Structure 1
Amino acid sequence: MAVEEMTAQSFEETITENGIVIIDFWAPWCGPCRTFSPIFDKVSDNHTDIVFAKVNTEEEEELARHFQIRSIPTLMIFREQVILFAEAGMLSEPQLEQVIAKVRELDMDKVRADIAAQEQQA
């Protein structure tokens, strides 16, 4: 599946209409971002049921600010509109595949129950 460019305008629709969305926050001047890009692209080909998107932090400053992106590349994974993973730094192909496998294994009913319990305690 092709990696899509995500903008502030397409963000909400992409997150709400897809089960799993993986976002790579990057910038053209970032060396590690350029190194990670082919890994991201290759892994996207292995998971055609997942949306892989890139956010250019230079062009989408509002979106980067909203998610408090301070270091790039930053990878963020949503499943059923819940952020399950947000980490700065580059991942290898096996590491990214492992994170995706863990995201797929999660019981989202339990995740939502845990979130609700934490919100009640706060």
Structure 2
Amino acid sequence: MSVIELNNTNFQKTIEDNSIVIIDFWAPWCGPCVSFAPIFEAVANEHPDMVFAKVNTQVEQELANAFQIRGIPQLMVFRDNIMLYSESGALPQNALEELVNQVKQLDMDAIRNEIAQGKHS
């Protein structure tokens, strides 16, 4: 699956309808964002079982504000409708691959139990 564009209309449905969603918040004027784009696309192509998406913060300011995006690029990872990761800064390809593999291997029952017990931030 190629990288999809998210907006106010399809954001929530994309998170709810897919097991794993990795989102790149970016802007066209951001040099690091533009440099990170081919890395994001390459990793997306290696993992067709996951959704890789982009949010143009210049166009989708309401989404950027809702998620308090202060630095871009910013990666956000959702699995089973739970946000597991949110960090700004471009990752090298090997680090993004490692993040993807870690997310795939998580025990989501344990994560849900931690959330229920107030241990997961």
Gaps of 5+ in 1: none
Aligned residues with identical type, % of pairs: 53
CA deviation digits over 1:25-57, x for unaligned, max 9? Answer: 000000000000000000000000100000000
**TM-score normalised to structure 2 length:** 0.97
Q: CA deviation at 1:63?
A: 0.4
- Distance in 1, matches of 2:8 and 2:41, equals 21
Q: Give 1 or 2: higher helix fraction.
A: 1
- What corresponds to 1:63 in structure 2? 63
Gaps of 5+ in 2: none
- What corresponds to 1:13 in structure 2? 13
CA deviation digits over 1:40-95, x for unaligned, max 9? Answer: 00000000010000000010001000100000000000000000110000001000
Aligned partner letter, 2:103 = V
The size of the alignment, in residue pairs, is 119
- What corresponds to 1:96 in structure 2? 96
Q: CA deviation at 1:8?
A: 1.0
Q: Secondary structure at the match of 1:118?
A: coil
- What corresponds to 1:77 in structure 2? 77
Q: Secondary structure at the match of 2:9?
A: helix
**TM-score normalised to structure 1 length:** 0.96
- What corresponds to 2:25 in structure 1? 25
Q: Secondary structure at the match of 1:86?
A: strand
